[in-house]
């Protein structure tokens, strides 16, 4: 069995965040979604779980949710099939209330390409393409 990765993000508005991620190309899995959470599927192995703040807090055992607009709690990268897909996700984020930026890593785009995408709540992730051939 392949390992699956489920990233959990705290969000203020589950519906707005769900619509945002759908516009980036994620699909909502209704079987694992409710009023407090949306299960957003990229592919068979990578999902982002959007959890309303009160629900997210249940898992923290007294910790505070980071203010992801000013602090980073995690930076999640996931692979995509081409630099064009990286750009498509980033542009969709920007067009729908999010943002993106690039980081100079001294690598040629034909070797590796990524952009830092920020969602409506400040959660950040990185679609990345790498030439592994």
Q: In this structure, is residue 32 part of a structural domain?
A: yes
Q: Average pLDDT over the chain, rounded to whole?
A: 94
Judge whether 69 lies within some domain: no
Q: Would residue 28 count as lying in a domain?
A: yes
CA distances from 43 to 28, 102, 105, 107 (A): 11, 24, 27, 27
Instruction: With respect to residue 63, please indicate whether it lies within any of the assigned structural domains.
Output: no
pLDDT score for 126: 96
How many whole angstroms separate alpha carbon 120 and alpha carbon 112? Answer: 26
pTM of the model: 0.89
Residue 67 lies in a domain: no
CATH number of the domain within which 31 lies: 3.10.180.10
Q: Which domain holds residue 45?
A: 5-58+74-130
- Read off the pLDDT of residues 95-125 as tens digits, 9 standing for 90 and up: 999 999 999 888 887 899 999 999 999 999 9
Task: Give the chain's domain count.
Answer: 1
Asked whether 127 and 85 are in contact (CB, 8 A), the reply is yes
From the list 14, 38, 13, the residue with the least C-alpha distance to 28 is 38
Residue 66 lies in a domain: no
Q: 44-102 pLDDT, tens per residue?
A: 999 999 999 999 999 998 899 999 889 888 889 999 999 999 999 999 999 999 999 99
Q: Which residues pair with 114 in a beta bridge?
A: 128
Q: Quick check: is 38 in a domain? A: yes
Predicted pLDDT at 106: 83
């Amino acid at each position: 069995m392949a390992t699956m990765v489920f990233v959990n993000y705290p969000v203020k508005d589950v519906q707005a965040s769900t619509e945002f991620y759908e516009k980036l190309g994620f699909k909502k899995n209704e079987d694992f979604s409710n009023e407090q959470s949306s299960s957003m599927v990229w592919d068979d192995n990578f999902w982002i779980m959007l959890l309303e703040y009160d629900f997210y807090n249940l898992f923290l055992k007294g910790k505070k949710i980071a203010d992801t607009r000013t602090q980073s709690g995690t930076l999640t990268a996931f692979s995509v099939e081409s630099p064009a897909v990286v750009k498509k996700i980033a542009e969709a984020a920007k067009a729908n209330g999010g943002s993106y930026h690039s980081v100079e890593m001294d690598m040629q785009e034909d070797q590796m390409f990524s952009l830092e995408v920020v969602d409506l709540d400040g959660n950040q992730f990185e679609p990345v393409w790498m030439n592994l051939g």
